[in-house]
Structure formats: structure tokens, C-alpha cells
């Protein structure tokens, strides 16, 4: 300002200033699904160890997986995997120097969300059908 006073504004941006967009949400979701996949890998390892130890060790794990909460955990893990994979492909597309236009970035973010939900439903339904639950 000409008189030497500073405008009253924050020194750095924060979440109250930014308008939420699907591209921002996709970036945050990508990080969150990466963390969820790490936790899911630990659960997958426990499942494999229980399977290797025999029927007595495997029975409680199988009971957990068959429970309603276990199915929600599996569905969440499946969605995290499909979202993270599709968004990773989106990032590879960006690495090729394409898709940076705002309209294109927004469209691909929506496609990642929609595609991950569709793939999760397909994979989860196929898994239940193979198990005999559908």
C-alpha cells in the first residue's frame, strides 16, 4: 500500500480460504487411501499368517472377515485399492505432460471416483459370488 500499511489478510493460505474442488479432494483421498492400504497390508499379512498356521488359527480370522464389520473393512480396502490405482494412472498421465488443463483435471478426478466405486462393486460382488454369498 502507498501509505506503508499492510492489508489484513493471512500470511499463508489455510483450509478456510480455499474453495473445495474435486481435484483437491482427489489429492487428499489419494494420500488417505495410501495410508489405508498400508493398514490393509498389515491385515492381509495377518490373514496369510493365520492361514499358514492352520485351521485353528484361521477360524477367528475367517469369522471376522465374514462379520458385517469385516465385510465393511474388506469393501473399504477394495475401494482404497481401486481408487489409489486409478488415481496413480491419472498421475502417470500427468507425468507424460498431459491433462493439466483445469477442465481435464476436474473430469479425470470425477472419473477416478466413479470408476473406483464401479470397480469396487464389481470386484466385491464377484468375490461374494465366488464364495457363494451372492
Q: Is 84 annotated as a binding residue?
A: yes
Cα 61 to Cα 90: distance, rounded to the nearest angstrom? 35
Q: Chain centroid to CA 94: how far?
A: 19
Provide the phi-psi class of 6: left if phi over 0, else alpha when psi is between -120 and 50, else beta: beta
Crossing angle of the two packed helices 102-131 and 68-95, in degrees rounded to 10: 140
Task: Map grid coordinates 489409489 to a residue.
Answer: 84
Give, in degrees to the nearest 5, the angle at Cα 130 between 86 and 43. Answer: 60
Q: Which residues are annotated as a binding site for heme?
A: 84
Q: Which residues are annotated as a binding site?
A: 84
Amino acid at each position: 500500500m502507498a501509505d506503508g500499511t499492510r492489508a489484513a489478510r493471512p500470511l499463508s493460505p489455510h483450509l478456510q480460504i480455499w474453495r473445495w474442488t474435486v481435484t483437491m479432494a482427489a489429492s487428499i483421498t489419494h494420500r488417505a487411501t495410501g495410508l489405508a492400504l498400508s493398514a490393509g497390508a498389515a491385515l492381509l499379512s495377518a490373514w496369510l499368517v493365520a492361514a499358514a498356521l492352520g485351521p485353528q488359527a484361521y477360524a477367528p480370522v475367517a469369522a471376522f472377515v465374514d462379520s458385517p464389520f469385516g465385510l465393511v473393512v474388506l469393501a473399504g480396502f477394495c475401494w482404497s485399492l481401486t481408487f489409489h490405482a486409478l488415481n496413480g494412472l491419472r498421475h502417470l498421465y500427468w507425468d507424460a505432460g498431459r491433462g493439466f488443463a483445469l477442465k481435464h483435471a476436474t473430469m479425470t478426478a470425477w472419473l477416478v471416483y466413479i470408476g473406483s466405486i464401479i470397480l469396487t462393486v464389481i470386484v466385491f460382488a464377484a468375490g461374494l459370488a465366488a464364495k457363494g454369498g451372492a
